[in-house]
Copies of this chain bind each other. A is one copy, B any other.
Amino acid sequence: MGRTPAGQTREKVFRFVRDRLAGGAPPTVREVMEAFGFRSPQTVREHLDALVEDGRLEKEAGLARGLKLPGRRGEAPTVLVPLLGRVPAGPLDAAIEDLQGHLPVQSRRAPGDLFCLRVRGDSMKDAGILDGDLVVVRRQPRAETGDVVVALIGDEATVKRLHVARGRVELRPANDAYLP
């Protein structure tokens, strides 16, 4: 088989692995082999070893699909957050059936505490939350003045900023065109 210019194939192999990693699982040696038309697993192995040597990939020896991207030091781990179509009124588990998918999010929170909703309306425009945005919500026992909260009023959910003053609770939008 003809040789390719130095480093060219290597770059393609790296991108292939990276994109497969995003797809959910690292490729096997033989998957890479077939994707590039190689006829020997050894060829792939040499490329992968070289990429590991360069620090562009990490590999666990002996493990099936043991390839990873090298993480930054102190990088928050990626978790898959459920994207819900309906607002979970009761315990979170009840909304599982409304699952619309999962969203990869980098966070150090316990995965079970997070979920994801789509914003409608622009009442929080000045806080950088626009119509159609996806918000990642963390369940917590209490909130304080200034926090942005998801409030459940009847069956509807809204995103607002919370203000507590003189025993009164107020939900203020972050847009001058709206009233609290």
Contacts and interface: CB of A to CB of B under 8 A. Distances in A.
Interface of A: 11, 15, 18-19, 21-26, 28, 64-65, 68-69, 71-72, 75, 77-80, 93, 100-104, 106, 111-112, 125-126, 128-130, 133
A69 B24 contact: yes
B68 A65 contact: no
Contact of A125 (B72, B77, B128): B128
A77 B25 contact: no
A79 B111 contact: no
A69 B102 contact: yes
A95 to B, nearest CB: 13
Contacts of A72: 100-101
A163 to B, nearest CB: 21
A111 B172 CA distance: 40
Given A24-B68, A25-B65, A128-B125, A78 B104 contact: yes
A102 B106 CA distance: 11
A80 B24 contact: no
